């Protein structure tokens, strides 16, 4: 049994579904006690049923400070400490340049502001446990995407938040790291392809070096590592979990010079 996180208490936002559920499962398999904060009662209760006694769920709207306080108080009452925060919840609200103010504010609030507020509220507990924060970002935070504004801007802001947290929280012995996710088999990909992962693999193959989308377990395994003592000297990092997407330039895998010569 993998026990890299034996006895650790983890709060994960958005940990009841999609990539978040896989992260929750991997954390528990690594020995952690996981507290899921999510808005959906149905998804949260399903996660607890699936993952067992080491998984707890507290319905939480992370955009509301009083609900964050309730989440923290219940976790401390139950376990007496908090070791790790995984800021995974996100809002995909985005209509490109036509995004209205309400959607802009919601997307920024969930992806950035709530992660910052929750991290600060947990700071004294993470200081005591010499814990760490893992922020789940995206390649969208570093690359412009056609027709998408609010979500990429929010993820770019989250990257800088991670740097700011790592810097200021270092005095308390708290590590903070940021994972840039690429194309992951998840709820958005499932919906866009009508649950056709083979099609997703084929379509995304030119955009990364591995030639497929990642399975959510591959993200989860990276979270377990970066949150564990095996990564004790890693803080302020921006770790690409993207199959090589980030190193490909505009030519992707097709060299322009060869294509020109073949013309």
Structure tokens at 240: 């690409």
CB 177, CB 235: distance < 8 Å: yes
Q: Is 207 a catalytic residue?
A: no
Burial of 234 (0-12, 13-18, 19+ CB in 10 A): middle
Give me the catalytic one of 125, 151, 169, 245.
Answer: 151
Determine the Cα–Cα distance for residues 53 and 172; give it in Å rounded to an integer: 31
Our CA angle for 243, 249, 251, nearest 5°, is: 110
User: Reading across the β-sheet that carries 175-181, which strands appear in turn?
Assistant: 55-59, 33-38, 9-13, 84-87, 132-138, 175-181, 238-241
Determine the Cα–Cα distance for residues 99 and 108; give it in Å rounded to an integer: 12
In degrees and rounded to multiples of 5, residue 176 shows phi and psi of: -135, 125
Determine the Cα–Cα distance for residues 6 and 114; give it in Å rounded to an integer: 28
**Residues involved in catalysis:** 151
């Amino acid at each position: 049994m993998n026990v890299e996180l034996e006895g650790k208490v983890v709060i994960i936002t958005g940990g009841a579904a999609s990539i978040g559920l896989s992260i929750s499962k991997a954390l528990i398999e690594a020995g952690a006690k996981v507290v899921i904060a999510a808005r959906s009662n149905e998804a949260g209760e399903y996660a607890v049923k699936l993952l067992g006694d080491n998984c707890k769920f507290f319905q939480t709207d992370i955009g509301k400070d009083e609900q964050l306080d309730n989440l923290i108080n219940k976790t401390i009452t139950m376990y007496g400490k908090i070791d790790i925060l995984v800021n995974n919840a996100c809002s995909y609200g985005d209509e490109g340049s036509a995004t209205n103010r309400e959607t802009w504010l919601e997307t920024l609030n969930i992806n950035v502001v709530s992660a910052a507020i929750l991290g600060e509220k947990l700071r004294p507990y993470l200081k005591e446990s010499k814990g760490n924060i893992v922020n789940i970002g995206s390649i969208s935070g570093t690359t412009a995407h056609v027709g998408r504004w609010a979500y990429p801007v929010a993820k770019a802001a989250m990257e800088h938040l991670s740097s700011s947290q790592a810097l200021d929280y270092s005095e308390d012995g708290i590590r903070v790291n940021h994972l840039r996710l690429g194309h992951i088999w998840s709820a958005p990909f499932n919906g866009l392809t009508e649950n056709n992962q083979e099609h997703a693999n084929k379509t995304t193959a030119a955009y990364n070096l591995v030639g497929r989308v990642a399975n959510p377990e591959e993200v989860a395994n990276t979270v377990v590592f970066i949150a564990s003592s095996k990564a004790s000297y890693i803080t302020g990092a921006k770790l690409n979990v993207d199959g090589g997407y980030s190193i490909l330039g505009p030519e992707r895998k097709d060299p322009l010079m060869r294509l020109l010569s073949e013309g």
